[in-house]
Structure 1
Amino acid sequence: MRETRLRDPLKTVFVFVCLSTGLCENDLFLSFCGTWHHGNSPLKLNVNISTGCRAMLISANEKSMSISGQITAHCTNSDVIPLSKFGLYSEQDTEFCLKWEPLLDMLVLQVGGRSLTLCWPTRPTDSCCTDLTNGQNGDLSTYGIKEGAIRGDTVTDKTLSTYNFTGQSTSYAKLCSQAAQSDPKSSQMSDRPCAHRSEKELKKDHPQSFSVTSPVKTSFPSQPAVSVYIPPAVGKKTIKAKSKMVVTFYNSTAFQEVHHEVKLLQDVVEITVENELIVDLSEPVKMDFHHDAVSKYPRSCVSWDTRKDPLQVNWLKDGCVTKEITPKHTECLCNHLTYFSVMVQMEPRPMRHLLELTAITSVGCAVSFISCVALMIILCRKKRCSKEQSLPIHLGLTTSLALLSLLFFLTGVLANVGGEGVCVWVGGLLHYALLSSLIWMGIEVLHTFWLVYMVFKPCPKLYIWNLIGFGLPLLPVAVLLAVGDIYGLREVLSTSEPPETFRMCWMKVSHQALLAQCFTTMTVLALLVSSGIVILFLVFREIRTRDEWKQRRVAFLSIWGLSCLFGSTWCLIFLDFEPISDFIHFLFCILNSFQGFFVMLRFCLLNWMRKQASGSALSSTSSGSTRQHMLQAQEKS
């Protein structure tokens, strides 16, 4: 009797603790992560998922990882997937995370930086499998899963062959109610939202139009987050006399891929007709998305295409037309049925004054190309009657700048006409021309230093300069082309309304391309600027005390002219921050697009100065005059 009296208060306290802390509630999701310790053999993934709510096994060995069990409401998946097709190889251990969303009946495996959807999101009708609890696990193993963790809490740091999770069936309505209670803001946006489903009957003989709205409201209570208009064309496309159409509204959290460049807005809509594929509608499906204000970044209506690879999320713009009604309202018109959402382009950031900057760049590149061609003709004529070693160096720089100006002038046209295929090669050629131009700028400065400090030592042979200026840039460009997925079509977006897009052939917006640019262009530019500053300082210190240079100041003009050549203008991009961002953009475009013109202007100015300097024995180039003055000064001393 005393034990019974004691047990009742303890039971009351236990129930109170459960209700107050949520320990008795169902787990809304499962996140199991670890490191797959495998061998050096080709890797594969074994999947065997079926409906029910019994258990889920996650095991791994030297060659394969297996995910099996009965946990889903609708999804069945049995497949053997070679992981090599996703770029996953066996050189080292592989990190992975398996995420189960019972509210969406969705199973996602993130392995080696790739996200594979093993079960597509859908809305369970009656019950779903939740409370996946870690049970009796496998034995210690040489190969398997080490450092297994559930929601960030490590289970063991040892390597186990198998992890076993058991679950229990829970009412979908009860689980949704729990989600709403755990997140008071779930009526607006929940991290683990319930999917809202609406079913309509379609009649092939008497097709009708109708509208469906999301139960989730925006900041205006009378305005739904998403409104869907189904045209009669959908009914005409159905095969059966009567078909059931399902419209399901999701939160985009479960669909969001880990990309810094793009982001989905909060709502995803799935529109399907049972067991039918609806495409090429004569009248599009209309969807109105009401969302938070998006003004700086362009939006695009996208659909989830699973034809390329059913395991990976591929959001495409094909088949949809985007209308940006207001910063808070986007209208999508799509000619097929699948999952739909609105994608925001976060990177690259839109450019202010894009039309003006593009016009300046085009004019500057055209003027620079014409100037470089004219200067090349002059240098070739002078080369016939003069053995001055500086002429071939000037000619090498002029040639590389002419190629750079021409390609940059034509890159927009080639991108629009040729597309991705042409842009791979044009982007590589443009990168080569830029690297070659920067290297020839360095050769110009180095050659001047050589003539001032190494007066009686012969300069390196011409073929050495050509090998460095034209041959060296081929090496990194060839490697990047062989690696692939570096060069391609790139879009520069404007902040205007509606936004304008400038398409060009260059490096893609990706981490691999950014890394490649840092190791090639940025490295060459850093070496060029740092060494150039040191060399110009040494040259100035050497010649500033000489009477010949004080009288005519030709050397000072030569140094000033060279300062335009050794890459300092390309460093302006590092000053791109507010409030001088717009000024830097215009200055950068002017100085670099007109660089070929400035080279010709410097050459003509020095040539005019030599003619004005009576009684001097100056040669045809500033570098040549430097050497002759040094020789004259040496003889006097």
Structure 2
Amino acid sequence: MASQLTDLCLRVVFVVAAVLSPGSTENDHDWTFCGTWLHGQQFLHLDLNLSPGCNGLSVSANESVLSINGQFTARCRRSDVIPLNQFGLDFEDHDFCLYWEPLQDQLKLQIGGENLTLCWPARPQGSCCTDLSLGSNEPEADFGIYKAMIRTDVIALKTFTTYTFNASPISCKTLCEQVKHKATQFNMVEHHAEDSCPDSLDLEIKDDFRGHNFTSLATRGVYEEPITTIYLPPALKQTTTMTSKVVITFFRNNTLFQESHKEVKILNEVVKITVENEIITGLSEPIRISFYHDVIHKRHPRKCVSWDTRTDPLQVKWLSDGCETQERDDEHTDCLCNHLTYFSVLVQLEPRPVRHLLALTIITSVGCALSVISCVALIIFLCRKRKRSKEQSLPIHLGLAVSLAFLNLLFFFSGVLANMGGEGLCTWVGAGLHYSLLCSFTWMGIEIFHTFWLVYMVFTPSPKPYVWNLVGFAVPAVPIIILASVGDIYGLKKVVPSDDVSNPYLMCWMKDDNEKALLAYYFTTMTALVVLVSSGIVMLFLVYQKIRVRDEWRQNRVAFLSIWGLSCLFGTSWGLTFLDFSPISDFVLFLSCFINSFQGFFLMLRFYMLEWMRKQATGSALGSNSTGSTRQQMLQTQEKK
């Protein structure tokens, strides 16, 4: 009895709020229904049965099927059963929202982080179906829709299997006028009155068609200014097989056209260009669409995109295929496209897209795989040599090889683990990757410090190996533990390719949409990198000053191997990270990617080359007391003095 009374009170509150709300005597130009789908542990499906009319709709759910049925569209007709597992929906309960826009005849379902377009946006003609009001709902059940809401108003706290909604027909023109009046009455400056009312222009393509220009006007302040202009070329007549009519529709309310990705955004108008009863592709002369939009800063790349509903009818995926982008200035973008469909301008927000991502990924994967194998071989080589030699630098070289092996191994599998394990696994993998990177930087710093010790403190014994191990492996763990305790730092990172901004590459690292992660990156990784590169360059100069007067330095291969090898040990190649600016950004990116991903291989090559050169010079075996290290070979005479 108490639960029934609670539900009745919620209904009364909802009805009273609807009656007392401003403009309640007018029809709603949009509608939103949300809830939580409580379902069973089985494969899920979406059942659609939509048709034109205005008899209302029903939303129902059971153990495995979410159903949307009714006559409430102007032109959309759809009967389909869609498996939802293809969108990554698991067996957990899912929140969903259903959006209905009668002035665009568009129905959209948001579920599991995906936006599914159930009715494509179009210009309704004649009658629109609106004012969807709550009707009856089925009794409480174990499976169904829990905590249903209309917009932000909760209408039930129980779990019901079905919700029905009554609707009222109205002239689309009248509804559009009501929306304009409502926007003017309540000073909706941020949402222009005409935004919800799509405009359409029709053009008959006759035998004498020689091209045509269209212009869409929009109110900006007290003036009407052209916001979009379209040029249809004569080639359009050659492509059509019969005398047809071109329909151009301008959609200014682009909310339902947005993708689910936060990194990209559709700006201003969306333009739909179609020819009745025909599919137009491969135009010999492209159509030209000139968009006038708000100022876009150069750090946010933009490109012309189109949505082909035939390729992916459920999801809005904007692609640049078949379109060329011409940026006239910060407020104008021209799109030259060789087909007809929906068009707009896609703006990349954050992070900045990466050019040539596929090539960079291949280089990194090959380099990391080869570096892991090389580091393992180098670890075996150094362990065997450590048994025969008491060289002080061997434990340091060994620590660097171990940290680089761990770093390259995690980086190689980062993309695979991100796609397999998702956010949960990436939290641990991202922390491990950050720890191995800081370990590598720390061991390179130890190499720098130990070289300084050999050169300038000859008669003072260096610290014991356990001290180096404590510094190299324990110190980097401190910031990782702190960041992990703070939380929300590590997880999925999306690397956006410039050629397909809607299909990012996933990896495990620090999150790119979190201010805490950004601060952690600069205070740990970038700070360590600045200290490492600056001290490495200084140490290279000091070592060069010491060894340039020796006889061995006059041998070209020794001189090259000395500086090249010490550069690898001192991590100075990471300094390329700070040179990422135009016009050499692409070259620096490829060079940095190649050198740093192959760093483990270069280190192995250095030590094996030094051992080979030592054998050539002395003819001795591995058990000799030679250091096997470039810097100690070059300083051996100086130390004896």
Q: TM-score range by the shorter chain?
A: 0.5 to 0.7
* Residue 26 of structure 1 pairs with residue 27 of structure 2: yes
Instruction: Say yes or no: does 1:612 pair with 2:635.
Output: no
Structure 2 CA distance, aligned partners of 1:232 and 1:37? 55
Indicate conservation of the 8 Å contact 1:36/1:145, yes or no.
yes
Q: What residue in structure 2 maps to residue 281 of structure 1?
A: 283
Secondary structure of 2:174's aligned partner: helix
Q: Deviations over 1:280-321 (max 9, x none)?
A: 001101111011111231110000022332100110000000
Give the stretch that moved more between structures: 180-189 or 334-343. 180-189
Give how far 1:112 is off: 1.0
Give the Cα–Cα distance (whole angstroms) in 2 for the partners of residues 295 and 529 of structure 1: 29
Task: Report the aligned-residue RMSD.
Answer: 5.5
C-alpha separation in 1, matches of 2:58 and 2:575? 55
SS of equivalent residue, structure 1 residue 214: strand
Structure 1 residues 110 and 571, CA, compared in 2 at 3 Å: closer, same or farther?
A: farther
Q: 1:44-193, aligned counterparts within 5 Å? A: 44-90=45-91, 92-184=92-184, 189-190=192-193, 193=196
How has the CA–CA distance of structure 1 residues 402 and 446 changed in structure 2, closer, same or farther, with 3 Å as cutoff?
Answer: closer
Match of 1:344 in 2: 347
- 1:38 to partner: Cα distance: 0.6
SS at match of 1:175: helix
Q: TM-score, normalised by structure 1?
A: 0.62
Which amino acid in structure 2 is aligned with residue 73 of structure 1?
Answer: A
Question: Would the aligned equivalents of 1:209 and 1:229 in 2 still touch at CA under 8 Å?
Answer: yes
Contact 2:493/2:511 (8 A) holds in 1: no
Structure 1 stretches lacking a partner, 5+ long: 1-16, 352-357, 359-364, 412-419, 425-430, 466-484, 492-500, 534-560, 577-581, 616-637
CA distance in 2, matches of 1:309, 1:594: 37
- Partner Cα separation in structure 2 for residue 268 and residue 568 of structure 1: 49
Match of 2:296 in 1: 294
User: Alignment length, in residue pairs?
Assistant: 476
SS in 1 for 2:236: helix
In the alignment, which of 262, 283, 307 is matched to residue 304 of structure 1? Answer: 307
Are the structure 2 counterparts of residues 222 and 178 from structure 1 closer, same or farther at C-alpha, using a change threshold of 3 Å? closer
Tell me which residue corresponds to 1:234. 236
Distance 1:221 1:85 in 2: 48
- For 2:205, which of 186, 202, 207 is the aligned residue? 202
User: 1:39 corresponds to which residue?
Assistant: 40
Flag structure 2 segments of 5+ consecutive residues without an equivalent. Answer: 1-17, 355-359, 361-366, 420-430, 451-461, 474-491, 532-564, 580-584, 607-628
**Are the structure 2 counterparts of residues 306 and 441 from structure 1 closer, same or farther at C-alpha, using a change threshold of 3 Å?**
same
Change (3 A) 1:319 1:158: same
Q: How much has 1:111 moved relative to structure 2?
A: 0.8
Letter paired with 1:213: T
Q: 1:529 to 1:247 in 2, by over 3 A?
A: closer
Summarize the alignment of residues 425-574 of structure 1 with structure 2, pairs less than 5 Å apart.
439=439, 452=463, 490-491=497-498, 508=504, 514-515=510-511
- For the Cα contact (< 8 Å) 1:129–1:170, is it kept in 2? yes
Kept after mapping to 1: 8 A contact 2:60/2:145: yes
1:398 positional shift: 6.4
2:510 and 2:86 map into 1 onto residues whose CA distance is 24
- Secondary structure, counterpart of 1:157 in structure 2: coil
For residues 90 and 265 of structure 2, the distance between their equivalents in structure 1, rounded to whole angstroms, comes to 29
Which moves more between the two structures, 436-445 or 54-63?
A: 436-445
Q: Is the 8 A contact 2:574 2:596 kept in 1?
A: no
DSSP-derived class of the 2:226 partner: coil
1:323 to 321, 326, 329: 326
Q: Relative to 1, partners in 2 of residues 1:186 and 1:274: Cα closer, same or farther, differing over 3 Å?
A: farther
- TM-score, structure 2 as length reference: 0.61
Secondary structure, aligned partner of 1:104? coil
Q: Is the 8 A contact 1:30 1:132 kept in 2?
A: yes
Paired letter, 1:37: L
Contact 1:348 1:509 in 2 (8 A): no
Counterpart Cα distance in 2 of 1:529 and 1:230? 55
State the Cα deviation string for residues 386-436 of structure 1 (Å, max 9, x = none): 46485375267469879999xx9xx9xxxxxxxx99xx9xxxxxx999987
CA distance in 2, matches of 1:159, 1:86: 25
CA distance in structure 2 between the aligned counterparts of 1:454 and 1:337, rounded to whole angstroms: 69
Q: Measure, in 1, the Cα distance between the counterparts of 2:202 and 2:258.
A: 26
SS in 2 for 1:103: coil
Once residues 316 and 597 of structure 2 are traced to their aligned partners in structure 1, the CA distance between those partners, rounded to angstroms, is 44
User: 1:234 & 1:61 partners in 2: Cα distance?
Assistant: 49
Residue in structure 2 matched with residue 550 of structure 1 by the alignment: none
